[in-house]
Amino acid sequence: KQAQLMEVLKKEVRAMLIAAKKGLTPAQLEEQYMAMVCKPLPLQDLGFQSALEMVKHMPEVVRVSSCSNGTFILKAIADDTTKGIAKLVACQKERTRTKAWKKTALKANAASPSKNSKHPQHSPWSARTPALPVTVKAELQDLLSSSPLLLKDLDKAFLRRFGRAFPYRQYGFSSVLEALRSVSDSIAVVEQAEAGSLLVLRKYLANVVEQEEVLQEASAAEMPPLEPICETESFCQTALPMKWEPVETEAVDLGDHLKKPQDSQQFLPKKLTLTPEIPPDAVQDRSLCSLPPLKRRCLVGVIVEFVASPSQFYIHICSRETSYKLRDLMFEMRHLYSHKLVSDQYIMPDSAVRPGQLCCVTVSKWWYRVIIHRVVSDQEVEVFYADYGHLQVVQKSWLRFLKWHYLKLPAQAIPCSLAWVKPVEGTWSPAATLLFKNLCRFKELVGVVDEYVDGVLHLFLCDTSTKEDVYFHSVLRDKGYADVCGENIPSQEFKELNPSALYVQPSGKETAELMEPDLCLQHEYLDADSEAAALNLDGAEPCDQ
Q: What is the pLDDT of residue 2?
A: 80
| Spatial separation of the C-alpha atoms in residues 289 and 412, rounded to whole Å | 9
H-type alpha helices, 312-426: 320-337, 340-343
The pLDDT score that the predictor gives to residue 83 is 66
Axis-axis angle for helices 154-162, 134-144 (nearest 10): 100
Distance from C-alpha of 493 to C-alpha of 497, rounded to nearest angstrom: 6
Q: At what angle do helices 83-91 and 2-19 cross, to 10 degrees?
A: 30
**pLDDT of 322:** 77
Global model pTM greater than 0.85: no
Q: State which amino acid sits at residue 439.
A: L
3-state helix, strand, coil in the chain (%, to 5): 40, 20, 40
Torsion, Cα 492 494 495 498, to 10 degrees, reads 170
Q: 223-262, pLDDT tens digit by residue?
A: 433 333 333 333 333 333 333 344 343 444 434 443 444 4
Digit-coded pLDDT (tens) for 252-299: 443 444 344 444 344 334 333 344 678 889 999 999 999 999 999 999
> Would you state the torsion angle of the CA atoms of residues 211, 213, 218, 224, taken in this order, to the nearest 10 degrees?
140
Q: Are 164 and 19 in contact (CB under 8 A)?
A: no
Q: How high is the mean pLDDT of the chain?
A: 75
What CA–CA distance (Å, rounded) separates 540 from 460? 14
Alpha carbons within 13 A on the beta-carbon side of 67: 14
* Amino acid letter, residue 494: F
Please give the distance of CA 280 from its chain centroid, rounded to a whole number.
19
> What confidence score (pLDDT) does residue 362 get?
95
Tens digits of residue pLDDT in 341-358: 889 999 999 999 999 999
Q: How far apart are CA 192 and CA 208, in angstroms?
A: 18
Please tell me the predicted confidence (pLDDT) of residue 197: 79
- Write out the DSSP string of 33-68: HHHHHSS---HHHHT-SSHHHHHTT-TTTEEEEE-T
CA geometry: angle 235, 238, 244, nearest 5 deg: 105
**228 vs 182 pLDDT, higher one:** 182
Q: How far apart are CA 518 and CA 504, in angstroms?
A: 21
**β-sheet bridge partners, residue 380:** 395
Maximum mean pLDDT: which of 169-173, 378-382, 463-467: 378-382
For 53-109, how does the pLDDT look when each residue is reduced to its tens digit (9 = 90+)?
888 889 999 998 888 776 889 998 888 777 666 666 566 555 444 444 444 444 444
Query: From start to end of 96-231, where are the E strands?
Result: 149-150, 187-190, 198-201
Q: Quote the CA–CA distance of 143 and 405 in Å, as a whole number.
A: 13
Looking at residue 45, what is its pLDDT? 80
Residue 312 gets which letter from DSSP? E
Picking from 343, 389, 391, the residue whose alpha carbon sits closest to that of residue 367 is 343
142-156, pLDDT tens digit by residue? 888 777 888 888 888
**Per-residue pLDDT, 155:** 85
* CA 172 to centroid of chain Cα atoms: 33
DSSP notation for 337-387: HTSHHHHGGGBPPGGG--TT-EEEEEETTEEEEEEEEEE-SSSEEEEEETT
Q: Which domains are present in the chain?
A: 2-92 (3.30.420.610), 130-226+234-277 (3.30.420.610), 299-316+411-534 (2.40.50.90), 321-407 (2.30.30.140)
Say which amino acid occupies 316. H
- β-pair type (380-385, 366-375): antiparallel
Residue 18 CB coordination number (10 Å): 19
Separation of alpha carbons 362 and 344, rounded Å: 13
Element housing 448 (H / E):
strand 445-453
DSSP three-state, residue 279: coil
Q: Output DSSP code: residue 289.
A: B
Q: What is the mean pLDDT of residues 455-461?
A: 96
Other beta carbons within 10 angstroms of residue 128's beta carbon come to 11
Tell me the CA end-to-end span of the chain in Å, nearest whole number: 36
Residue pair 62/11 in contact (Cβ under 8 Å)? The answer is no
The whole-number pLDDT of residue 156 equals 86
- Integer angstrom CA distances of residue 243 from 51, 166, 186, 277: 36, 34, 21, 7
Q: What is the pLDDT of residue 71?
A: 80
% of the chain surpassing 90 pLDDT: 36
d(C-alpha 251, C-alpha 46), whole Å: 58
Task: List C-alpha distances in Å: 464 to 195, 301, 445, 450, 517.
Answer: 42, 11, 7, 19, 23
Contact 76, 62 (CB under 8 A): yes
